[in-house]
Each structure stands twice: as structure tokens, then as C-alpha cells.
Structure 1
Amino acid sequence: MQAIKSKDIEALISFAKDQKEPDWLIKEQVVALENTKTASLPKFQRFDYRGWQLTPRLINYPNHQLSSPTVETSTTVTKIVQLADETLKIDLPEKLISQGVILTDIFTAFRQHSALIKSYFMNVIKADENQLTSYHLAHLNAGIFLYVPENVVIDQPVEMEIIQDSKKQVPLVSHLLIVAGPSSKFAVTQHLSTRGDHRCLANTMVEIVAEKNSEVKLTSLDELSQRTTVSFNRRAFVRDNAEVDWTIGLMNAGNTIGQTDTDLVGEGSKTDTKVIAITGKDQRVGINTKITNRGKHSVGNILQRGVLLGQSELIFNGIGDIIHGASGANAEQENRILMMSPGTHGDANPILLIDENDVLAGHAASVGQVDQQQMYYLMSRGIDKRTASHLVIRGFLGAVLTAIPSKNVRKQLIEIIERNLKNG
């Protein structure tokens, strides 16, 4: 990592001031920029990505015109659409506005809700954790803030469409901050896609704070382009009797590293983390999925399924960490990988770290090739090899797909899977 130059700091400060960011944020960004030259990269067991260009020294910040996006009131739809750093659309029902729900781009939140967002922003994921988190804060150029106050229930999922603009070579550094007030309940669907074909970088982050007795279900459908190198970091902080469930469809076509963490700090806190990944061609993907049980009687489950095509590589690291004092905790995980061709490389690594006696914990892991008996059975009934392969894959992924509660999300994920198999 090259030394940070004064012109880089000047560019950062100039961009931040153009956005009318609060002083506290600008100071933290400058510190983060300095940290990028000394911080280390995060570790992924059995996966080496150190040759990737994930923290370019200088970003040419876009000529962003300061504006506040217009919020359109609707009857049922709650949705936000972003193209790179520009917010194209916000739909928010009048009922939710009157209840104090906030849905806006991250820079408007910094300006209009500075005191509120300061209490949560980069508190779940610390900027100084590693080089990628420092880079993220220093070069932040897009994002969304969702705040749901106490006792508010949103019946329909909050839809978030995030489009990376690869028609120009500006990395997408996007931050989604979700705060669930006590006893609130809602679901979020995030869809990441790419427009354009320049070689580019995406550094995305999700922070969720779930206050006591709240419930958040987040589904992320990731399908960034083959020429996009992706790093993502998603983490939830879950208090007493709260629940955060993740459903992640990793359909990116380019090299990807990422981690989804849940910190179960409250007594009776819960999480279910489901991950589907499909890799193809010469793609390389390394994934850490971690649950830390800190609260008594906390429950954390991990279910991961991956399919490898072409000459690709996929590493699943499932990490269950039960901290001393988390009596009555339950940590279960299942990691399975299906290799569809001999040139692929896959690993499913279950890791259990247990520092408490009165707990339940278990794991299952498998890495294998397609069942030839299944293929023979299907092809003997007149089904061509390609279609038979798709059916076997759909069956393998079925354990995760059927566990997705939303029919619309399940249908959308299946459509994305079919597209990826067709292109794989």
C-alpha cells in the first residue's frame, strides 16, 4: 500500500463538503483514509485473494450535484432505487411517514438526521477492523438509510434496487444502514446489479441494528457483472429476543470475497443465515459466514449451498463462535458444495469455537460431484444432459429455496439462478 498523499485527503474532504457531510463524519473519513496504508486485509481460511486490486490508492470522485431526493407517497409500495451515487426513486407510504419511518439515501441522512445516524453508522462494523473497512468509510460514495421506529410493523418488504454504473470507472462504495426500533417488524429485499462493462470495483456494506423484540428479514440478490471485483461485509447486532434472518443469493459473475456476520448479544436473540452461491468459468469466490453467540439462550443457524461450474473456485467458511457465558446457546451449521465439472475447486469448512459447557452445537459439511445415478435416471427418460444438470442443481439448492418465506423473493432468486446456469 502506497503512502496516502495530501491530494487524496484534499479530494476526500472536497467531496465530503460538497455533500455537506457533518464534521464528525469528515474527521472519521480522514482517519480511515490514513488507516488504509497500515491496516491488514481480512482473513479467509483456505482462500488467497491478495493479488486482487481491492483498494486503489486514489478515487476520482464523481462531480456529484447536491440534492435531496423526492419522496413519492404510495399506498403500498416501499421502495428505493439507486444508480451509483444517484437516487432515482423513493416510494414511501404516507402511513409509514406519519409513523416516523425514514427511507433515504445515506448522504441525505447525514445532513438531515445527523444525530440519529451518528449513533449507529459504522458502530456494528468498525472502520479500523481491516483495510477494506477503512477503505469503505474513506471512499463512501453511495448508500441507503432505513429507520423503523418502535412498534412499527411494515407488512410488505422494503425493496432496494442498487445498480452499479460500470459505464464509467468509478468504484461503487455503498453502505446500507438499517435500524429496527424495539418491537418493530419488517423485511428488506436488496438487489445488486450492474449497468455497463468497464472493469470496476464494488465495496458494499450492510449494518443492521435490531433492538429488543424486533424482527428483520433481509434478502440480498447479488448479480454484479463479470468485470466487477466484489468485496462485501454484512453484519447484524441483535439484542434481547430480537431476530435477524439473512437470505443471500450470491450470483455475481466476477471474483468475490465477502462475509456475513451476526452478533447475538441479547438473551434469546436469534438468526437464520441461508446462502446460495453459483460460480462459473474461471471465477473465484471466498465466503465467511459467522454467527457469534454472546447472549444466553441465543440461537444461530447457518445453511449454505454452493454449485461450481466451469473452472471456478468456491470456499465456504462457516464459523460458529459461542462465547463464555452464553449458556443455553444453540449453534448449528450445514455447508455443502456440488462440483459440476472436474476443473472446479470447492471447500466447505465448518469451524466451531465453543467456550461454554451448557450449549448445543453441531455441523455438517460435504463437497462432491454430481450424482451420476440421478443424471442417468433423468437422461434415461429422454431429458437432455443440460436440462438434467439444471434439475439436479435445482434439487440440490432446494433445501435453501424452500426455506425462503416470501414467494416473490423465491421466484426472483430462481429466475436469477436459471440465468446464471444458462450463462455458466
Structure 2
Amino acid sequence: MTTQTILPVNAEALKALSASKQEPAWVTESRLTSLELAGQLELPKLEKQRIDRWNIQAFGEYKQSEQLSSFEDLPQEAAKLVEGSREGGLVIQRNSGTVYSKLSEELAAQGVIFTDLETAVKEHENLVKPYLHEAVKRDEHYLAALHAATWNGGVFLYVPKNVEVELPLQAVMLTDNAEALFAPHVLIVAEANSRVTYVDNYLSNGLSGHVTHNGAVEVFVKNGAKVRFASVHQLTSETTDITYRRAVVENDGSIEWIVGEMNDGDTASDTMSVLQGNGSLSDQKVIAVGSGSQKINYTTQARHFGKSSASQMITRAVMREEAQAIINGITKIEKGATKADGQQTERVLMLSPKARGDANPILLIDEDDVTAGHAASVGQVNQEQIYYLMSRGISRTTAESLIIYGFLAPVVSEIPLEGLRDQLQGLVERKLGQ
């Protein structure tokens, strides 16, 4: 059965918008081709959940974003996320466009590029064009094609060969106008033997209606490069959050994903590492807390093509009230990927009788000479543990909190960025109503 999808924009309006922003012809052509595809493709298939029952048509329209005259003009909710840590570089998107962009002179002198994607397609075509929509393919499904047609603002990060960026480069993606299209696209290219850490925060504030965030992330890790990608989503219940992340990793390169899913609305994310090269590495850490009547679908994936490639995926989710979570882990080892090693763990802790969790570990192995393993668990808070702690004079609320933090600790403790660890700790406390 074909699911009826509605295009939020027509070709003529999209073409006129692209012209008004003075985008290169190849970008306009890409948008129009993608829009045509969107009209032909179906919605993505989520494991054990029907995304067509979600509110995924509140895309809004492109609204011109006013540039900030200074950082101090940024809304307080966004400013406090990067307060005191802007030395390397900062990009801020508000609704449909970028309102602030800055990179340190030292990094710029080394050839690092850190700007919004709309600027990059005009000023750095030779670096953007070969990669845009090559990891998250526009023909994957309706939402991928629609994103490729309507993306706005976004981030472009380029790190030249042998350059090591010591300070994290940061971005804030803010939606506070329910009528504005919010579809940032993040594109990162790390050349051979480079090093970089990128951190972004997605948040919504003061919305007077529903917003559908349809986002995409593409990371290209060249030979021997190391990329650490951290992302925290804290969007309100008026926002449906859909994000597809892909990394393509070449010989001896590595990608580290750190994802904090702290939304209050329905959320679907798919984070995949394509280990193309020999000796390539992927490490994925995801923590999530669901509350209210949220419906959540998280997928982590690793596809091994390279010999001696290695992947690890760890997802820990806490569900409270009536939240429902589907946690998927997929390790695919292709024929010829000898000596590959793929490991994954998914664990879900439910805090109430009405909460639901489902962990689905999947191993797909087409090569004999490999190592692979998985572990999964879904369960309630252990009442014996609570009783033991209470017998030592600890209140039930505190006892439950200690168990929850202990459950999440194996992921949180491994996060190498102290500020991010503290932020996630605070968000976990907020989500748990503490």
C-alpha cells in the first residue's frame, strides 16, 4: 500500500526561493530534482512503529532570519549553551537561516572552514559539491528527498590535511517560530590525518504551534582522520524530530558519535557509520530519556566493508510515564571485510507500568573470519535494589535516581567532554522531573 504524502512546496516556489538566495545553478537543480523524487517516494519504514501516524507535515515556510548584530542578542536559552566556550568557532541557526557565524583567526589561517552551508555552497563549491547528499542519499525515502529539496541554514565544516583542531567547534540550532521551515543540514569533511570535535545543540522555545524538524548529517572521514561528533536534542513536545546521520570512514579513520536524545516530542533518529576503509573505526554512544506519551525510534548502524574494521554501539534509554521506545542496533559485515569486529548493546529501563521499551539487536554477517556480538535487555527498575538502598536510610525517590544514574553511567562516564557530560546530567534530571 502506498502512503499518501504531501509536498509542502511546489517547484516554482522552490526555484524562486533558490534564486532569491542567489544559490548556484547546481544547488537549484539539486533541490528541484529532490522535490520531484519526494513526490514519488514513500515515508521511511520504522521498526514496529508507523511514522504516518505522527505529526510530520508541520514543515512551515521559509522565513528570512535576521542576522544578530552581536552574540548578546541571542535568546538566553541558546546563549547559555555555549557561554564561555566560543573560542574555536560558533554557528547559530534560528528557524530558517543562520544568524551568527564566527571562526577563530588562528583556525582560519590553517585553512579550516566553519560556516553555514548556504554560504559554503556559494563560496566553497569545489569542497561541498562532491559530498552534499552523497552519504544521506536523497532517494532513500520521502523525508530524505524532501530534506534535500528544502534544507536551510546548516553547517559546513572542513578540516585540511594534517590539521588538528584542539577546541570543539559548536553550533546551536534553534526553532522558536512554528510557521518557519526548520531543516538544517550538517556537512563535515575531515581530510587525511586531521582531528576535530564538533558539538551541536537542537532546541525549541516559545512555539505557538507544531514544528517538524527534518534534518540530516553527513560526515566524511578521510584516511587516518579522527572526528568526534556530539549532538544533544532538547526539543519541546510541539516538535517532531526526525534526523538521519551518516558517516563514511576511510582507511584508519575513526568516527565517534555521542548523541543525547532528550526531546519531549516524538523522535526518530538513524545514525550509521559506513566503515569503507581498512582499519576504520566507529564508536557510537546514545543515551535517551522518554517521558509523557512520547513515541521514540532510535537506530544505530555500522556497515563494515574494510578489513580489520571495528564498531561499537551502546544505547541506553530510560522510559517513564507512558513513553514508548523502539531501540534498534544493526551491524552488517559485508563479504570481504575479514577480521572485522562489530559489537553492540541496547538496554531499556522502564520506570512505570505504562512505559514500553523494545530492544532489537541485529547481526548480518556475510564473511566468516570476523568477530561480532550483541547484548540487549528491557526491564523495570529492580525493586530489590530500591529496598536495599531504602534499608540504608535513603528515600525511595533518591534510590530510584541512583539506580537510573547507575544505569546511564556506562555511557555518560565515557563522554570525553566535561561540559557535555554536565549538560546531559542536567537534562536527565529535568526529564526525570527532579
TM-score band by shorter chain is over 0.9
Gaps of 5+ in 2: 72-84
- Following superposition, the deviation at residue 69 of structure 1 comes to 9.7
- Following superposition, the deviation at residue 304 of structure 1 comes to 0.6
Asked if the contact 2:195–2:227 (Cα under 8 Å) also holds between the matched residues in 1, the reply is yes
Task: For residue 46 of structure 2, give the secondary structure of its aligned residue in structure 1.
Answer: coil
1:173 — aligned with what? 183
Match of 2:409 among 373, 398, 401: 398
Asked if the contact 1:144–1:177 (Cα under 8 Å) also holds between the matched residues in 2, the reply is yes
Asked if the contact 2:97–2:152 (Cα under 8 Å) also holds between the matched residues in 1, the reply is no
Counterparts of 2:234 and 2:6, CA distance in 1: 34
2:224 is equivalent to residue 213 of structure 1: yes
Match of 2:202, as an amino acid? L
Match of 1:151 among 162, 172, 181: 162
Match of 1:177, as an amino acid? L
1:196 — aligned with what? 206
C-alpha spacing 1:380/1:250, structure 2 compared with 1 (3 Å): same
1:237-286 deviation digits (Å, cap 9, x = unpaired): 00000000101100011001110000000000001001101100110001
2:195 is equivalent to residue 185 of structure 1: yes
Task: For residue 301 of structure 1, give the secondary structure of its aligned residue in structure 2.
Answer: strand
Counterparts of 1:251 and 1:184, CA distance in 2: 31
Counterparts of 1:213 and 1:377, CA distance in 2: 49
- Following superposition, the deviation at residue 59 of structure 1 comes to 4.5
Runs of 4+ in structure 1 over 6 Å off: 67-71
2:280 is equivalent to residue 269 of structure 1: yes
1:21 — aligned with what? 23
Match of 2:62, as an amino acid? Y
**How many residues were matched structurally?**
417
1:387 — aligned with what? 398
- Following superposition, the deviation at residue 382 of structure 1 comes to 3.2
1:336-377 deviation digits (Å, cap 9, x = unpaired): 000110001110100000000000000000000001112112
Task: For residue 80 of structure 1, give the secondary structure of its aligned residue in structure 2.
Answer: strand
Match of 1:9, as an amino acid? A
Counterparts of 1:349 and 1:124, CA distance in 2: 24
2:419 is equivalent to residue 419 of structure 1: no
- Following superposition, the deviation at residue 381 of structure 1 comes to 3.0
Q: Given the two structures, how large is their TM-score scaled by the length of structure 2?
A: 0.92
C-alpha spacing 1:340/1:59, structure 2 compared with 1 (3 Å): closer
Match of 1:61, as an amino acid? Y
2:282 is equivalent to residue 281 of structure 1: no
Counterparts of 1:257 and 1:10, CA distance in 2: 31
C-alpha spacing 1:3/1:384, structure 2 compared with 1 (3 Å): closer
Fraction of identical pairs, as percent: 37
Counterparts of 2:181 and 2:194, CA distance in 1: 34
1:258 — aligned with what? 269
Counterparts of 1:80 and 1:383, CA distance in 2: 45
2:84 is equivalent to residue 52 of structure 1: no
How do 1:304-343 and structure 2 match up within 5 A? 304-343=315-354
Match of 2:203, as an amino acid? S
1:41 — aligned with what? 43
1:40-94 deviation digits (Å, cap 9, x = unpaired): 22222222222124246x85322457x89999xx994322222123333323221
2:103 is equivalent to residue 92 of structure 1: yes
Match of 2:184, as an amino acid? S
Counterparts of 2:355 and 2:7, CA distance in 1: 39
Asked if the contact 2:251–2:280 (Cα under 8 Å) also holds between the matched residues in 1, the reply is yes
Counterparts of 1:379 and 1:188, CA distance in 2: 42
1:32 — aligned with what? 34
Counterparts of 1:247 and 1:394, CA distance in 2: 17
Counterparts of 2:10 and 2:291, CA distance in 1: 37
Match of 1:398, as an amino acid? A
2:143 — aligned with what? 132
2:306 is equivalent to residue 303 of structure 1: no
- Following superposition, the deviation at residue 289 of structure 1 comes to 0.8
Asked if the contact 2:318–2:350 (Cα under 8 Å) also holds between the matched residues in 1, the reply is yes
Counterparts of 2:5 and 2:391, CA distance in 1: 60
Counterparts of 2:242 and 2:134, CA distance in 1: 19
2:18 is equivalent to residue 8 of structure 1: no
Counterparts of 1:226 and 1:410, CA distance in 2: 24
1:83 — aligned with what? 94
2:259 — aligned with what? 248
1:202-231 deviation digits (Å, cap 9, x = unpaired): 111110000100000011111011110111
- Following superposition, the deviation at residue 11 of structure 1 comes to 1.2
Asked if the contact 1:68–1:108 (Cα under 8 Å) also holds between the matched residues in 2, the reply is no
Asked if the contact 1:11–1:61 (Cα under 8 Å) also holds between the matched residues in 2, the reply is no
